[in-house]
Structure 1
Amino acid sequence: MHRTTLKVLLLFAIMSLPATTLLARPNDVDAAALIDALNLQESQVPVREMPFWRKPKKIYMVPPGYTDEERAMQMQQAQKAVGDVQLVQISYPIPDDVINEAEVLLARCTPRIIREAKHLRWLQDSRHGVDSCMIPEILEKPFVLTNTQHTSGPPISDHVIAMMTMLTRGLHHFHRYQLQGEWKDRPIDFPMLELEGKTLLIVGLGGIGTVVAKKAHGLGMKVVAIRNSSREGPQYVEYVGLSNELHELASRADVVVNALPLTNETRGLFDATFFDAVKRGAYFISVGRGESTVTADLVAALRDGRLSAAGLDVTDPEPLPAGHELWSLPNVIITPHVAATTDEGRWRRWMVVLENLQRYVNGEKMLNVVNVKRGY
């Protein structure tokens, strides 16, 4: 099927949705423009040039929609994208016979799939991070793994800016006074900062971190960043350091944002040593993965003033159990791993899945191929 035809079909389906469907989207959707805007990366070579590729006869799919109506719509769109290829809808838990047979699977990547799917050639995960299936066996498996990374940059960056603004203006404290019915204008015993001219350190200058950097720069902040791969970055990032510069840059930052994927190298990275190095009174915002932060060390830093406050969309453990001390700290905002959940985010992720479906069937270059050696 021609790509222009796919766009028309997708537009028609989106325009036909009822107003209450969360995937509803204005009729100006352009897949190519979206790919460019989100800086989605294509594989270096078409998938047809990989030795394990062949046009699939059957594709198993867990549609990621929230309702039966939404999932039915996604199946219709997907079938039009793959043409005469048989598309089979499945659900969780995935049956053993599907795992044993599947060559192409659209579902959450799990260790079970990696270990037991002996014929797997392509796995599309509709999530952004796939750290949950990064087990040693994945390195031995000749298949393509793709995800929807970069699609969450816009909503998560909004979440970061919202948390940063709330914390630096002390709105979390004022909200508590409001609930108590207390008008407390004096004395104000917590910082109330202006963001312009302050330094923001982004740890993980990937798809999410780059959009955070752009928005923070627009607020007049000085943006510096850490990335593992290179010192390259957009012009609105004043300095890009490597991982060995983390503590030095943290010592100068007023706000630190964790936007890292979870790998062996990033697990427990934000520990007591990091919080000792960070500029005293800084703000810590975490939207990467909870396990990159040592929770006990974070709590200690929040209690003794090394950190003024923290905004956490991810925690360790997760879900955060009732009674955990993070819940009761007055200088913490917690959201339950929902930073990517917005009115726009779901259709954006689905468009990437749909685009990859057509690309794989046609043997073209794939979007968002995961480097399984790096884990993201």
Structure 2
Amino acid sequence: MPKYVMLPPIDDDIREWAAKMREELPSLDVVIVEDEADAAQELTDADAAYGWVAPEVLPGVERLSLLQNPFAGPPVGWYYPELAEHAVVVSNPRGIYSDHIAHHILMYMLALSRGLPYYAEAQAQGRWDNRARKRGYVDLTEATVLINGVGGIGAEAARLCAAFGCRVIGVDPRPAYEIEGEIIDPSELDARLPQADFRVTAVPHTPEPEFSWHAAR
């Protein structure tokens, strides 16, 4: 029976997923590892795993053929040279959050364009103030949205922005998606920033873009 190991940290969601997998895939041996100390032993005969395999554990992992990375954009250090050289295939959930996060982006844009934070502040203070808004409305049909990172999330956000009538400028060095708008190279970012009414960043947290948004921008 193939063995699938779910590695720590374990929470209630993962326990629920494991129960669902056992129900839907009775021919799969699903093992939850609650303690880091037990991970090495359980991985020795595992066929697949969900989570992170520590560098000191990897040398004893020979049978593993699939490792599911829980992150679309994993934290720095998740990948390391020994893992990159290992025969295991690493997959990730890239794309499954695109619609959720794009909707979240549009929620903020709509709120900011209508001055909702100012009205919410007045409401929290117990004031009825129809003049609480401190700046003008933003007409989305005349607005420009600059999206830094045109991956799954950025492309979906671009689609929704275009549906509201926005002009979209995407920024990506290696665009894998087409959008209703233009895509520029990051070298053009500073020159195009003044054109943007809204700036969205949808790039993974890696060393290259870290601290790319600063006071000068």
Tell me whether the two structures share a fold, i.e. TM-score over 0.5: yes
Q: Deviations over 1:35-90 (max 9, x none)?
A: xxxxxxxxxxxxxxxxxxxxx8433235876285554123222x24xx4xx51321
The RMSD of aligned alpha carbons is 2.6
Counterpart of 1:91 in structure 2 is 33
Residue 248 of structure 1 deviates from its aligned partner by 1.8
Residues 211 and 57 from structure 1, CA distance in 2 versus in 1: closer, same or farther, beyond 3 angstroms? same
Q: Distance in 2 between matches of 1:210 and 1:65?
A: 32
Q: Deviations over 1:198-241 (max 9, x none)?
A: 110111100111110000000000011011214x64241x2111
Counterpart of 1:270 in structure 2 is 213
Secondary structure in 1 aligned to 2:4?
A: strand
Counterpart of 1:76 in structure 2 is 23
Cα contact 1:131–1:263 (8 A) shared by 2: yes
Q: Deviations over 1:324-372 (max 9, x none)?
A: xxxxxxxxxxxxxxxxxxxxxxxxxxxxxxxxxxxxxxxxxxxxxxxxx
Counterpart of 2:75 in structure 1 is 131
Equivalenced residues, count: 210
Which residue among 132, 135, 145 is the counterpart of 1:190? Answer: 135
1:243 aligns with 2:186: yes
1:173 aligns with 2:118: yes
Q: Distance in 2 between matches of 1:102 and 1:192?
A: 61
- The one-letter amino acid of 1:130's match is P
Q: Kindly report which structure 2 residues correspond to 1:245-260, keeping only aligned pairs within 5 A, or say none.
A: 245-260=188-203
Residue 166 of structure 1 deviates from its aligned partner by 0.9
Which residue among 117, 120, 138 is the counterpart of 2:58? Answer: 117
Residues 127 and 173 from structure 1, CA distance in 2 versus in 1: closer, same or farther, beyond 3 angstroms? same
TM-score by length of 1: 0.50
Residues 156 and 217 from structure 1, CA distance in 2 versus in 1: closer, same or farther, beyond 3 angstroms? same
| More displaced 10-residue stretch of structure 1: 117-126 or 91-100 | 91-100
Q: Distance in 2 between matches of 1:150 and 1:223?
A: 20
Secondary structure in 2 aligned to 1:142?
A: coil
- The one-letter amino acid of 1:212's match is A
Q: Kindly report which structure 2 residues correspond to 1:284-303, keeping only aligned pairs within 5 A, or say none.
A: none
Counterpart of 2:163 in structure 1 is 218
- Larger RCO, structure (CA 8 Å, separation 6 or more): 1
Report percent identity of matched pairs: 23
Residue 189 of structure 1 deviates from its aligned partner by 2.4
Q: Distance in 1 between matches of 2:203 and 2:49?
A: 25
Q: Kindly report which structure 2 residues correspond to 1:303-342, keeping only aligned pairs within 5 A, or say none.
A: none
Cα contact 2:155–2:179 (8 A) shared by 1: no
